[in-house]
């Protein structure tokens, strides 16, 4: 069955998992499919949505989740990741991890006998991308032929969106300041998916071009967890990229506004946009749970 570290790991099953999420949200699956199953949740970084949605999701599927702060684990005192993976595999049926380094999660998955699900690394945030796509379908009716614009840097959230959008037939643009472009390998893979699915990927510092014909305007914090040392410079470089009503007016009139949250009003987005009628951010947050229940069912059900 494998693990979910990247959107690419579910390339051929993205639609299947999202269909499953819709069914789960509508209450159309059996009761307690994960009865008796346990998910270990390792957090090396803060979280509100990811922690709660996995915990509540496991409970609602009939199983349980155990929160493990990396500060309290022996891993935090230097126990090898490989030993941690082997030991956890003897106790639990799945491991969810929010990690600082993507390579650590790859190592965990390599030595684990149970599925490993990423709840964010420095490279990707695949569960967020699934919840985002569920939200887009609910609000726009379909993905095919629609266009999403991410305004911000090439980060974990935009990397996963770059990979998932073409797989579902969406065009994607990224409006980012020079020097903050996404990871080269992610862009290369996203371009391949776009060619296979006849969609377009555009990466530009020109906000006007990026926002042409856009149905979804998406942004994220200017300073991701781990980038704090660059905060001052980033605030200067990203100022022209703030999502405010002027920027929103460049997108289609009925465009929706999305943000993975947490948000900083007055930085990457103004309060009138995130709290305004085009914003769907709380539906998006709720969908973390429905999408992840589908992921848990997909990876952990016998």
The answer to whether the Cα torsion of 13, 175, 128, 281 is positive or negative is: negative
Which residue's CB comes closest to ligand NVA?
A: 224
Q: Is there a catalytic annotation at residue 206?
A: no
> Which segment (31-39, 58-66, 216-224, 244-252) binds ligand NVA by CB under 6 A?
216-224
| Closest distance of CB 30 from ligand NVA, Å | 32
Alpha carbon distance 73, 83 (integer Å): 12
What are the strands of the beta sheet with 64-69, ordered from one edge?
A: 64-69, 38-43, 94-98, 116-118
Q: Taking Cα atoms as reference points, which of 8, 23, 12 lies closest to residue 118?
A: 8
Q: CB under 5 to 8 A by kind: which of ligand NVA, ligand CP, none does 220 bind? A: ligand NVA
Q: Is there a catalytic annotation at residue 278?
A: no
Q: Is there a catalytic annotation at residue 198?
A: no
Q: Is there a catalytic annotation at residue 260?
A: yes
- How many distinct helices (H) and strands (E) make up the chain? 12, 9
Place of tokens 């030991």: 87
Alpha carbon distance 255, 213 (integer Å): 9
Structure-token pair, residue 282: 């709380």
Q: Pick one of 260, 263, 285, 300: the residue that binds ligand NVA (CB under 6 A).
A: 260
Q: Would you give the DSSP letter of residue 182?
A: P
Per-residue binding string, ligand NVA, 101-140, x by CB under 6 A, is -------------------x--------------------
Q: Is there a catalytic annotation at residue 290?
A: no
Q: Which stretches of the chain bind ligand CP, using CB under 6 A?
A: 47-50, 120, 128, 260-261
Q: Is there a catalytic annotation at residue 98?
A: yes
| Closest distance of CB 232 from ligand CP, Å | 23
| Closest distance of CB 33 from ligand NVA, Å | 28
Alpha carbon distance 293, 299 (integer Å): 10
Q: Tell me if residue 124 falls in helix, strand or coil.
A: coil
Q: Taking Cα atoms as reference points, which of 202, 191, 185 lies closest to residue 167?
A: 191
| Closest distance of CB 235 from ligand NVA, Å | 15
Which residue's CB comes closest to ligand CP?
A: 50
CB closer to ligand CP out of 50 and 189: 50
Catalytic residue among 220, 234, 259, 292: 220
Which CA distances in Å does 126 have to 50, 132, 271? 11, 10, 27
List the catalytic residues: 98, 125, 128, 220, 260, 288
Task: Point out which residues bind ligand NVA (CB under 6 A).
Answer: 120, 155-157, 220-221, 224-225, 260
């Amino acid at each position: 069955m494998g693990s979910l570290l990247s959107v690419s790991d579910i390339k051929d099953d993205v639609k299947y998992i999202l269909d499953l999420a819709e069914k789960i949200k509508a209450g159309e699956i059996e009761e307690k499919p994960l009865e008796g199953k346990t998910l270990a949740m390792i957090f090396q970084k803060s979280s509100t949505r990811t922690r709660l949605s996995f915990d509540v999701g496991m409970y609602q599927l009939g199983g349980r989740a155990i929160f493990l702060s990396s500060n309290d684990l022996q891993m935090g005192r230097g126990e090898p990741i490989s030993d941690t993976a082997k030991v956890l595999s003897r106790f639990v049926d799945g491991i969810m991890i929010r990690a600082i380094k993507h390579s650590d999660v790859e190592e965990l998955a390599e030595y684990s006998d149970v599925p490993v699900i990423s709840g964010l690394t420095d490279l990707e945030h695949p569960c967020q991308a699934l919840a985002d796509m569920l939200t887009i379908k609910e609000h726009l009716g379909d993905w095919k032929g629609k266009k999403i614009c991410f305004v911000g840097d090439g980060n974990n959230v935009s990397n996963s969106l770059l990979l998932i959008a073409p797989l579902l037939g969406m065009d994607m643009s990224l409006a980012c300041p020079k020097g903050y472009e996404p990871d080269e390998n992610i862009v290369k893979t996203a371009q391949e998916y776009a060619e296979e699915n006849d969609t377009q990927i555009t990466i530009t510092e020109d906000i006007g071009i990026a926002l042409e014909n856009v149905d979804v305007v998406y942004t994220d914090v200017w300073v991701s967890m781990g980038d704090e040392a660059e905060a001052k410079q980033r605030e200067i470089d990203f100022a022209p990229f703030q999502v405010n009503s002027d920027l929103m007016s460049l997108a289609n009139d009925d465009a929706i506004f999305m943000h993975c949250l947490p948000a900083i009003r007055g930085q990457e987005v103004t309060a009138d946009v995130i709290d305004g009628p085009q914003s769907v951010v709380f539906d998006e947050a709720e969908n973390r749970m429905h999408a992840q229940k589908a992921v848990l069912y997909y990876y952990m059900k016998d």
